[in-house]
Structure 1
């Protein structure tokens, strides 16, 4: 039986315009939460609005948006407590470290890490009062950094560290902090990542000689794995489990690639290098 939203309380989901965020917002609304779904554009708000789904314009790099979100939670007309924050908003672009401009590094950290922290800081007083829960959406890339994934993986490695520290800080107050690590999931993020890489300044001819084949192979591999990946709704069900479990695990993995997360700690670095290179090799000959 679905519990009423007045009983469940509020859930905040960032990055809810599409993909995992939108699927998670709908899943939690179906489970009785009143979901404040963070979106960046009015057309995205119109697309997700529905029973138990209230879109809020939220760019997590804008302090005024975060202040407005905190005020909306504090001034809820029905006095519902905020029970959960799902930090999902993220951007991705796969390029070699030499090529990825430093200003793009900063932008990626602003969205994937600093923005998440800012939203968490703003809502923590309310979450502590309600003994609520923080669910941070990391990635398999938060444990394994493949070639060209350095910038994205760096933000996710950092989010994993922040999550561990936050979990230990908030445990005495009854607030759980959970990490979800999706692998290949069929969302629009990959297409945006490839487009974002294409929009960046072109590689020099010297860099092109070094990396163009690698970038092409990585994109081919990513397309292949994503096409064979899970739908966003499957990831949303795992996130909902992390939200609702009475005693949640500290980490949940999603998808076939998630198995790599569990074995990587036991592999020597050089062996993992060879495994990843071998997995990439079949995609080097594929043309897009």
Structure 2
């Protein structure tokens, strides 16, 4: 087998957070990491020994084609050990309020872009008996209120990963899913900013219907993130999923993710509804807690 310093690993969404931490951890382990970023400023900040930033917007076919050429024409002839599909966005709003362009954009980034990257690099992974690592979420198992679009794309990512794993296993290519829970990353902060923008743009009727819920979700997401793992701790788990000799089919990140994943398998829908409502209820503005009860 080739050693780590003779292998490439491609990771998308590496500008900040878990992606950047994973790129640095893989480089520390000796791999040459092609770290996908969308802006040159992010590339300059990320560049270090073993980390080669590449401009890669996974919704742009030309940039996906460019990275496949970079892999095929690697100056050292190094094989592609793994692709880590990590890029993502979070736009939270009730199903009724989220516009159709926003729905489509979230699926383009959180699902279809990953499929496009995976399809493009699969020939290289077939040649190296490599690995696909898909970064899902606890939202791929449990859909909280206002997470319809985000969780919908992650549920689909889970299903696609299962199908892909069963298709590729006979051909020596492994597929692994990683399901983070609370992790302290910039993406959560950007998601909270977007939710505040949604609240500000609501009509009086919409605010009466969903204002309390959105305020509760913002408060819950803030607390959830503060108590979560560091990006560096998450990066170590993702790096292990990408490089372990005998990887599991799924890894969770954080005790919250492990617990909710188990509960989603054993509780009825109604019991899970009540559990999630109870968890969210303390975050509602005063006087609105009663409306948070799931019936």
Could you tell me the TM-score, scaled by structure 2's length?
Answer: 0.93
Report the secondary structure of 1:263's partner residue: helix
Structure 1 stretches (4+) deviating beyond 3 angstroms? Answer: 197-201
Q: Give the superposition deviation at 1:71.
A: 0.3
| Contact kept? 2:215, 2:285, Cα under 8 Å | no
Q: What is the aligned counterpart of 2:68 among 49, 63, 70? A: 70
Q: 1:243 maps to what in 2?
A: 242
1:264 aligned onto 2:264: yes
Q: Whole-Å Cα distance in 1 between the matches of residues 251 and 262 of structure 2? A: 11
In the alignment, the residues of structure 1 paired with residue 279 and residue 35 of structure 2 have an alpha-carbon distance, to the nearest angstrom, of 37
Distance 1:182 1:89 in 2: 13
Distance 2:63 2:185 in 1: 25
What does residue 204 of structure 2 align with?
A: 205
Q: In the aligned structure 2, how far is the partner of 1:26 from the partner of 1:221?
A: 30
Once the 2 structures are TM-superposed, how far is the Cα of residue 4 of structure 1 from its aligned partner?
Answer: 5.2
Assess if the C-alpha contact under 8 Å between 2:141 and 2:261 holds in 1. Answer: yes
Task: Indicate the residue corresponding to 2:274 in structure 1.
Answer: 274
TM-score by length of 1: 0.96
Q: Name the structure 2 match of 1:150.
A: 148
Output one character per residue of 1:251-273: Cα deviation in whole Å (capped at 9) or x when no partner.
Answer: 00011211111221110100000
- Shifted more, 123-132 versus 233-242: the winner is 233-242
Where does 1:128-143 land on structure 2 (aligned, <5 Å)?
A: 128-143=126-141
Query: 1:186-208 deviations in whole A, cap 9, x for unaligned?
Result: 00111111223344582222111
Task: Identify the residue that residue 293 of structure 2 maps to in structure 1.
Answer: none
> For structure 2, which runs of at least 5 residues remain unmatched after alignment?
287-295
* TM alignment of 1:97-136, pairs within 5 A: 97-136=95-134
Q: C-alpha displacement at 1:278, in angstroms?
A: 0.5
Does structure 1 residue 195 correspond to structure 2 residue 193? yes
Residue 37 of structure 1 and its aligned partner are, at CA, apart by: 0.2
What residue number does 1:177 align with? 175
- 1:70-91: CA deviations, max 9, x gaps? 0000000000000100000000
In angstroms, what is the RMSD of aligned CA positions? 1.2
List per-residue Cα deviations over 1:127-150 (Å, max 9, x = no partner). 011000000000000000010111
Structure 2 CA distance for aligned equivalents of residues 261 and 170 of structure 1 = 25
Q: In structure 2, which of residues 160, 163, 182 is the aligned counterpart of residue 162 of structure 1? A: 160
Offset of residue 285 of structure 1:
3.4
Which whole-Å CA distance do the structure 2 matches of 1:250 and 1:196 have between them?
33
Alignment pair present for 1:223 and 2:222 = yes
Distance 1:204 1:110 in 2: 28
